[in-house]
């Protein structure tokens, strides 16, 4: 009635048991593939979603443009410890399609894994079509997906707009999902550092349980009927 879901301790614990412990973030060239796990080598990512570009030659800042994607992609590939290339929010492309155009520009200029930011779930299918074009079709893409999607909860643990629809599209296409969290001490989280850490952990576990179990139910891959029944009840 009030659009709230309560996630049980049992559901979270089972998710941690069945969820994958690692995955591979893939680029156009396998030599740039990254293992993402607790034991893998750490890596840096380039700025993501930035709207301003600082020109180091002129010393001036200006709104990011499509040409900056090429610069950022080439630089990101050159830096050894930069694991993923950049996705800027460009100002010289119509807002309702900029996320699709930027993916095309990244694919042309970078062989590393990248984030697929998007403004709307409806645009993801066009982003994926571009990725499929360079991997050899939808089946090949599902086996070795390029890039990774993004699911962005708003603290404290609220899923806005069509984030759930976005999650389903990523799941159907086997695209890894990143979950950036945004609690801020004293604003949308407790004033204490300890409280904010607890909230951050709770938000991650909540979204992680939803992602793994909803997608697993979608694929009918959950381990037990009890877990499926519990998910049905809370949804």
| 23-55 per-position pLDDT tens digit | 888 989 999 998 888 898 888 877 777 888 888
Confidence at 222, pLDDT banded by 50, 70, 90:
very low
Bridging pattern class, strands 34-37 and 44-45: unpaired
* Structural tokens at position 5: 């879901």
Q: What is the mean pLDDT of residues 111-129?
A: 90
Asked if residue 148 lies in contact with residue 180, where contact means CB atoms within 8 angstroms, the answer is no
Q: Give pTM, 2 decimals.
A: 0.82
What's the whole-number average pLDDT of the chain? 86
- Per DSSP, the three-state class of 173 is coil
The DSSP call for residue 80 is T
| 48-77 per-position pLDDT tens digit | 778 888 888 899 999 999 998 888 888 888
Task: Mark out the alpha helices in the chain (DSSP H runs).
Answer: 9-18, 66-78, 98-109, 124-135, 138-143, 163-172, 193-219, 225-234
């Amino acid at each position: 009635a009030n659009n709230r879901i309560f996630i049980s301790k049992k559901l979270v614990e089972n998710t941690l048991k069945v969820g994958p412990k690692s995955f591979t973030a893939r680029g156009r060239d396998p030599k740039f593939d990254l293992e993402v796990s607790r034991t893998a080598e750490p890596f840096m990512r380039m700025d993501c979603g930035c709207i301003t570009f600082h020109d180091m030659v002129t010393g001036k800042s200006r709104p990011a443009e499509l040409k900056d994607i090429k610069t950022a992609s080439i630089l990101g590939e050159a830096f050894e410890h930069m694991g993923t290339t950049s996705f800027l929010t460009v100002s010289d492309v119509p807002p309702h399609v900029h996320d699709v155009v930027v993916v095309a520009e990244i694919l042309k200029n970078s062989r590393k894994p990248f984030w697929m930011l998007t403004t709307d779930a409806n645009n993801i299918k066009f982003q994926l079509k571009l990725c499929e074009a360079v991997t050899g079709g939808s089946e090949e893409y599902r086996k070795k997906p390029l890039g990774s999607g993004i699911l962005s909860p708003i603290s404290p643990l609220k899923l806005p707009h069509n984030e759930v629809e976005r999650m389903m599209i990523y799941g159907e296409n086997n695209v890894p999902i990143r979950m950036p969290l945004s609690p801020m001490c004293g604003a949308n989280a407790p004033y204490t550092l300890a409280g904010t850490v607890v909230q951050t952990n709770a938000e991650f576990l909540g979204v992680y349980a939803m992602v793994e179990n909803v997608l697993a139910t979608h694929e009918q891959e959950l381990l037990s009927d009890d877990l499926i029944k519990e998910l049905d009840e809370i949804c």
